[in-house]
Structure 1
Amino acid sequence: MKISVKAPAKINLSLDVLHKRPDGYHEVEMIMTTVDLADRIELIDLEKDKIIVDVSEGFVPNDERNLAYQAAAKLKQKYNITRGVSIYISKKIPVAAGLAGGSSDAAATLRGLNKLWNLNLSLDELAQIGTEIGSDVAFCVYGGTALATGRGEIIKAIPSPPPCWVILAKPPIGVSTAEVYRRLDLNNVERRNVQEMVSAIESNNFKGICGSLHNVLEDVTFKLHPDVEHIKESMKRFGADGVLMSGSGPTVFGLVRKESRVHRIYNGLRGFCSDVYAVRLISKSNS
């Protein structure tokens, strides 16, 4: 039996870091939403008790380091599954981009294996398992739009923003999330009340959403990688309504209401950035 599952990317409309926790993680407050740029996960049930991972991109690990592999291993361990699975990951989301590609692959694997192995687990149960794999996996299990707190694993669904285009641009660099958090000076960051963004979304106020975009990690990443700031400034100049770096970067996204502007921004960015995508917001969750 074979099952195919979409694993969409996420962007952060708002990202605040409150403090460092005793367990070494950072307490965060984020609003995340899914966009229509997705990997595709194909799962094939195996009688042999083994996990096989094959990835379309050669530089993505296909062993225990892969989050989809970890998702399958967690389910097998928790529910005494003696069958195996072949996992094929067709990558479309750039790797190490601040778009939760690996986390979304793990979440899609959890959802797909729940059907393939007839586990009948709820999304809440799958999300709980996801928290043991990575901070963004729980959100990716649900999809849609949500306020994420704790280390990112406490998820509260909120309405989706009004429909718009999203331009994504990733420079050809990798950003170490650990290094960005290590360099973050929590005594010297500009904070925004996340409720501003929640209120703008709930009232369908696109201008308010663009005005409330905020990411405390931007300044740290900009200092490490000036190319990222250059992309943000270029996207603004080309006419995006609101622009922000996603996660710890390096991907920058622009929200665009008018389709006529999309091509101009896309083409302008393609002049100096190879990884550029024009996609839409995904308005519904997986529930």
Structure 2
Amino acid sequence: MIRYLGLKAYGKINLGLDVLRKREDGYHDVRMIMQTVSLYDKIDIYLKETPGIEIVTNLFYLPVNENNLVYKAAKLLMDEFHVTQGVTIHLKKFIPVSAGMAGGSSDAASVLFGVNKMFKLGLTRQELMERGVKIGADVPYCIMRGTALSEGIGEILTPLPDMPQCQVLIAKPGVSVSTKFVYDNLDAAGLKESDHPDIDGMVAAIKSRDIYQVSARLGNVLETVTIPEYPVIAQIKERMKEAGAVNALMSGSGPTVFGIFTSPLAAEKAYEDMRYGEGKTLAKQVYLTNFYNTREVTNEQ
């Protein structure tokens, strides 16, 4: 019996995000290019002999009950397989919260993997992904990881070749964005053609492993809603490009912005500017990372 697992839950960015239409069930059909980055939350799962799920976090404002996706993930599998023992989950957050980086979904994905392994439930990755969509649309991708085309509500996934390695500067301004607000205020039918990113062109650029062609096609239709509400997002994008980013984009529904750098020196200077220099007024959280292309989830103990 495995008594402890230490896992890393990696964040994601959207290299491309397009919304096609609103569905009758209230969700939206999307086409997205998802990419894992090396910024991660740390998850420690401990077996306990008494039933129940206990969550401990480093952020006082995070729920530690059924309102936390980590709790929902553990409960989903433990209820289905009638697990009589319990778990204590220590969640240490580094991925910005409510930032468009799927931190909560990635945490849930890692817990699904961990509970499956700890209790020897025997589920395949595909079976975990099928269950993960019940928790959130991004959870199946967070189980898959790497570079992928995401369609439907996010659950239809097509793996793509690994992205060429480069530096990724991530900056989150001190604002919170409601995903529901963004989608509720997106008029997909009224958007101009130029508002929609070239997803097919980006897929082709990824397959040719051309980082410059990929960067040229960065696009997020949700910027049409979020940036007018929070102009600081556009300011961060411009600051990154002025500092040498090949391109910059808002991830998800925001407000996090990422910039792609092919020069390590320029990336480091841009990081220093946004963390300690004049750009510090724009962003509350700043990280310098890179793409993470390993798909296999392993015990990181």
Query: TM-score band, normalised by the shorter chain?
Result: over 0.9
CA distance in 2: counterparts of 1:251 and 1:240, whole angstroms: 15
CA distance in 1: counterparts of 2:296 and 2:183, whole angstroms: 30
CA distance in 2: counterparts of 1:286 and 1:197, whole angstroms: 24
Secondary structure of the structure 2 residue equivalent to 1:184: coil
Tell me the C-alpha RMSD between the 2 structures: 1.0
CA contact (8 A) 2:198 2:219 kept: no
Deviation at 1:127, TM superposition (A): 0.7
Secondary structure of the structure 1 residue equivalent to 2:205: helix
Task: Give the structure 2 partner of residue 219 of structure 1.
Answer: 224
CA distance in 1: counterparts of 2:179 and 2:101, whole angstroms: 12
Deviation at 1:154, TM superposition (A): 1.2
Could you list the per-position Cα deviations for residues 178-213 of structure 1 after superposition, in whole angstroms to 9, with x for gaps in the alignment?
A: 000011111232223311111111101011010010
Find the partner of 1:198 among 195, 198, 203: 203
CA contact (8 A) 2:95 2:101 kept: yes
CA contact (8 A) 1:145 1:285 kept: no
Which residue identity is paired with 1:155? Answer: L
CA contact (8 A) 2:8 2:40 kept: yes
Secondary structure of the structure 2 residue equivalent to 1:19: strand
CA distance in 2: counterparts of 1:256 and 1:2, whole angstroms: 38
Which stretch has the larger CA shift, 101-110 or 152-161? 152-161
Which residue identity is paired with 1:208? Answer: Q
Tell whether 2:276 aligns with 1:276: no
Task: Show structure 2 runs of 5+ residues with no match.
Answer: none
CA distance in 2: counterparts of 1:279 and 1:86, whole angstroms: 30
CA contact (8 A) 1:144 1:286 kept: no
Tell whether 2:266 aligns with 1:261: yes
Secondary structure of the structure 2 residue equivalent to 1:64: coil
Which stretch has the larger CA shift, 137-146 or 184-193? 184-193
Deviation at 1:162, TM superposition (A): 0.3
Equivalent residues, number: 287
Task: Give the structure 2 partner of residue 167 of structure 1.
Answer: 169
Tell whether 2:246 aligns with 1:241: yes
Find the partner of 1:156 among 155, 158, 164: 158
CA contact (8 A) 1:131 1:153 kept: yes
Task: Give the structure 1 partner of residue 66 of structure 2.
Answer: 64
CA distance in 2: counterparts of 1:93 and 1:207, whole angstroms: 26
How do 1:48-197 and structure 2 match up within 5 A?
Answer: 48-189=50-191, 190-197=195-202
CA distance in 2: counterparts of 1:60 and 1:231, whole angstroms: 27
CA distance in 2: counterparts of 1:285 and 1:159, whole angstroms: 11
CA distance in 2: counterparts of 1:200 and 1:34, whole angstroms: 17
Deviation at 1:45, TM superposition (A): 1.0
CA distance in 2: counterparts of 1:192 and 1:9, whole angstroms: 22
CA distance in 1: counterparts of 2:150 and 2:138, whole angstroms: 9
Secondary structure of the structure 2 residue equivalent to 1:254: strand
TM-score computed with the length of structure 1 as normaliser? 0.98
CA distance in 1: counterparts of 2:171 and 2:190, whole angstroms: 28
Secondary structure of the structure 1 residue equivalent to 2:258: strand
Secondary structure of the structure 2 residue equivalent to 1:147: strand
Which stretch has the larger CA shift, 229-238 or 186-195? 186-195
Could you list the per-position Cα deviations for residues 145-183 of structure 1 after superposition, in whole angstroms to 9, with x for gaps in the alignment?
A: 111111111111111110001000000110000000011
CA contact (8 A) 2:34 2:147 kept: yes
Task: Give the structure 2 partner of residue 42 of structure 1.
Answer: 44
TM-score computed with the length of structure 2 as normaliser? 0.93
CA distance in 2: counterparts of 1:143 and 1:198, whole angstroms: 16
User: Runs of at least 4 residues of structure 1 off by over 3 A?
Assistant: none
Deviation at 1:49, TM superposition (A): 1.2
Identity of aligned residues (%): 43
CA distance in 2: counterparts of 1:185 and 1:238, whole angstroms: 33
Secondary structure of the structure 1 residue equivalent to 2:177: coil
Which residue identity is paired with 1:102? Answer: G
